[in-house]
Structure 1
Amino acid sequence: MGLRFTNLPSDVFKGREVPPVHYLLKIQSFNSLSRSLLEKYSSDKFEAGDYKWRLTIYPGGNKDEGGQGHISIFLTLADTSSLPGKWELLAIFNFFVYDQLGDKYFLLPDNQLRRFHAMKTEWGVAKFVELQVFNDSSNGYLINDTCVFGVEVFFLRQTCKAEWLSPWEKPNTGCYTWTIKFFSALTLDRYESEGFVIGGHKWRIRIYPRGNGVGKGNSVSAFLFLDESTVSPDTQLVVRFIIRVLDQNEPKGDPFQFTYDNHFGASCLEWGAQKFMPLAKLNDPEQPYLVGDTCVIEADVTLFGTVSTVS
């Protein structure tokens, strides 16, 4: 028989053989505790996540929280004196009660993130288990007036970053054309165009004539590159760009191109495609992209705004 928790379906409660990893509290005379003047019992301090905690049991229920007729169970941050000002901790925790007959630890998986701070150092469940169920020895939770509770505590480290998006009313758009002669005679792994300015920032087209990475030996690799000196370290640019190889036979013909949306900034100065254009397609004399050993590459760049990162 499983635990009966008030107003919740029994199939959401889990039983497992492995004890909780952080703390166990064994009470050897539960009825004596219930009859005493202690409305609650708080355990000794234990460590979880480099912090000190206590597990608190209300044997007759936490009446201030509406826990009459139940056992209430709470997790309390025990030592806050060493924490910095305006501290807060984010934690997920589970409470357990031990079924001594079935040799299983039953828990109510909450999985909700709780925020501990100076004004809220305790979280718990006022109606954890009904006393009528708990006191019935056939259920296995109270045997020979002995019972066991436990807790696990898991943390989310506060490494959250945020961004502020500032879209512009009118995007900044520009285009740069790079004519490359004697393409078959290019011997270096990488070539760059002259710098060009769009939206107040300096850019270059970067190509690998024989490919880079997965494109090596089979493709032309092409990238748009941002000059780091023209953007602040904590700002990124929201950019859509097109890199194309022009049709030289028909000025209004179909170019070979790809379009890419991304952020450009100090941590991401270059975006493009390692397998931009197959070498077989570029070198095909029936295709209009390499004419007289010359190809024309164009970058069409649109800046939509900025993103500022905040730690």
Structure 2
Amino acid sequence: MGNSSSRGRSKLGQGHGSKVAPSSPAGDQSQPMTFKWNIDGFSSLLDKGAGWTYSRVFEVMGHNWYLKLNPRDKDNKEYVSLRLELDNSSVKSDTIVDASFKLLIYDQSFGKHREHEVSHSFQTASTSSGISCMISLNKLKKRSSKFLLNNCCVFGVEFVKVTTLKVNTTSETLFVQKMSIFNEAKTYTWDIDDFFALKNPGYSPEFEVGGYKWHITMYPSRDGNHLSLYLKLKRTNDLPEDTANLVEFTLSIKDQETGEHRNKGTGRCPFAKNARTWGWSKFISLEDFKDSANGYLVKTKCCIVAEVAIVGSSKME
């Protein structure tokens, strides 16, 4: 289901969105910066089992960070997992921190040996990189690798680039009303005497719900294979630019043999000046619609039913 401006059956959301504008980077980025984390007594940490152990908070490029380590992560077999997190003290609702970095596990005989390069956007909802540098526990403990030397392991993170971005946020507040006699659904029936005489699109006579004028829009053959149905708000002159009406509606094709509404589409959508039409571009295949056994099209006649109720409002800020 979607707004008529989209040509598919995809959903169209008009909720939270964000635009990102670059601001000046934080910190000196002329040289990569590295934080090393030495863990002495690693076997004692292994004895404690799975779970995250956290490093001290450290500052790099104007932000506070920490590493966290799970010595017995599970993915079919046991792994040592390492992640980077942005500390809450550096999280601001109006900024995103873009970081490129390498998570490191050191072979202590040959220096930096195993690394995992990551690019990640840290923001309010996601302060963790979400991606681990993982090495199997068996491989880490092998004597030949020297990852574990004298019961000590060395982990680290090398920062390649950190940029702070300013976020300009647009938000929507949705007010949903309790159902009452004042906003109960009203039903409109569109009896079509000659389906084959309809234009593409065809429009029902207008009807009123909630003080607004509406009509049903039908495309008898929008793509050659399907019948399309939409509910359209006729005029929005009294709707401010930043507001919308939340409308709960059902469109259905009546089975004229049984009187049942066997083919239905239901939506709960915001109707506004820039979104006056909602519905389905592929409501039913023309093959099913024209099949006399279904009772939708009897000779040239068909019947479309709309149930419409205004159940709330929204405001953009």
What TM-score bracket applies, with the shorter chain setting the length?
Answer: 0.5 to 0.7
Per-residue deviation, 1:164: 1.1
Pairing of 1:1-311 with structure 2 (within 5 A):
49-51=23-25, 53-54=27-28, 73-76=59-62, 89-93=95-99, 102=111, 113=122, 150-170=159-179, 171-186=183-198, 188-209=199-220, 211-212=221-222, 216-230=223-237, 231-250=239-258, 253-263=259-269, 264-310=271-317
Q: Distance in 2 between matches of 1:153 and 1:233?
A: 38
User: Could you say if the C-alpha distance between residues 88 and 244 of structure 1 is closer, same or farther in structure 2, counting changes exceeding 3 Å?
Assistant: closer
Q: Distance in 1 between matches of 2:123 and 2:281?
A: 45
Q: Distance in 2 between matches of 1:108 and 1:195?
A: 60
Q: Distance in 2 between matches of 1:107 and 1:249?
A: 66
Q: Distance in 2 between matches of 1:208 and 1:281?
A: 15
Per-residue deviation, 1:97: 10
Name the count of aligned residue pairs: 209
Which has the bigger relative contact order, CA under 8 A and spacing at least 6?
2
Structure index of larger Rg: 1
User: Could you say if the C-alpha distance between residues 92 and 292 of structure 1 is closer, same or farther in structure 2, counting changes exceeding 3 Å?
Assistant: closer
Q: Where does the alignment leave 5 or more consecutive residues of structure 1 unmatched?
A: 1-47, 58-69, 78-86, 116-138, 142-148
The residue matched to 2:188 in structure 1 has which SS?
strand
User: Could you say if the C-alpha distance between residues 249 and 151 of structure 1 is closer, same or farther in structure 2, counting changes exceeding 3 Å?
Assistant: closer
Q: 1:49 touches 1:155 (CA, 8 Å); kept in 2?
A: yes
Q: 1:172 touches 1:199 (CA, 8 Å); kept in 2?
A: no
Percent of aligned pairs with the same residue? 25
User: Could you say if the C-alpha distance between residues 285 and 94 of structure 1 is closer, same or farther in structure 2, counting changes exceeding 3 Å?
Assistant: closer
The residue matched to 2:62 in structure 1 has which SS?
strand
Q: Where does the alignment leave 5 or more consecutive residues of structure 2 unmatched?
A: 1-21, 34-55, 64-92, 125-151
Per-residue deviation, 1:107: 9.2
Provide TM-score, normalisation by structure 2. 0.52
Q: 2:236 touches 2:272 (CA, 8 Å); kept in 1?
A: no
Question: For each residue in 1:153-210, what CA deviation from the matched residue of structure 2 results, as whole angstroms up to 9, or x when unmatched?
Answer: 1444413222211111234421111111122233x3211112222122222100011x
Range with bigger deviation, 272-281 or 150-159: 150-159
The residue matched to 1:229 in structure 2 has which SS?
coil
Q: Specify which structure has the higher proportion of strand.
A: 2
Provide TM-score, normalisation by structure 1. 0.53
Per-residue deviation, 1:223: 1.0
